[in-house]
A = this chain, B = another copy of it.
Amino acid sequence: MMLITRKVEFSASHTCWNPALDRAANEAVYGAEANPNGHGHNYRLEVTLQGEPDPVTGMIIDLKQVKQVLEEAIVQPMDHRHLNHEVPPFDKVVPTAENLAVEIWRRLEPLFEATQGRLKLIRLYETDDLYVEYEGR
């Protein structure tokens, strides 16, 4: 069993605000993250795939394919975007790092299902000092 991890980055804005809560509650929960104008991050995403190296190629998965999947499924729709306004379901779901990780998992898992590399873990850095990890369970 072996793991391979590829990093990508995207720059996006978000507002942490739950419309089911009033302003005071939002500010109590999210602090400065609740600013309705949004603020932004250079998100760094590490995607880890698990598999067996192919005896012929010595690779778990074609990395050109991994790069293309991450580009099309994550970077193009999220880079230089305001998550709440332009990236569903974040018009309805609060784009905390946790919820963003869940959505990235939801998008990536089926795309790797037919490949030799099964999606094992995603690690999402909001800043250098804060990251979440999700294994889809």
Chain B residues with Cβ below 8 Å from A63 are 130
Closest to A33 in B: B80
Distance between Cα atoms of A98 and B50 in the complex (Å): 11
Distance between Cα atoms of A65 and B62 in the complex (Å): 30
1/0 contact trace for A73-107 toward B, CB 8 Å? 00000011110011000000111111101100000
> For window 26-63 of chain A, which residues contact chain B by CB distance below 8 Å?
29-33, 35, 37-42, 48, 53, 56-60, 62-63
Whether B82 contacts A29 by the Cβ 8 Å rule is: no
1/0 contact trace for A1-43 toward B, CB 8 Å? 1111111110111101010110000000111110101111110
CB proximity of A90 to chain B, nearest CB, Å = 10
Whether B130 contacts A6 by the Cβ 8 Å rule is: yes
Determine the main DSSP class of A at the interface with B. mixed
Distance between Cα atoms of A4 and B31 in the complex (Å): 18
Distance between Cα atoms of A16 and B54 in the complex (Å): 14
For the complex with contacts A53-B102, A57-B94, 14 further pairs of A-B residues with Cβ separation under 8 Å are A2-B132, A4-B132, A4-B133, A5-B132, A6-B130, A12-B39, A12-B40, A29-B59, A29-B62, A30-B57, A32-B80, A41-B41, A41-B42, A60-B132
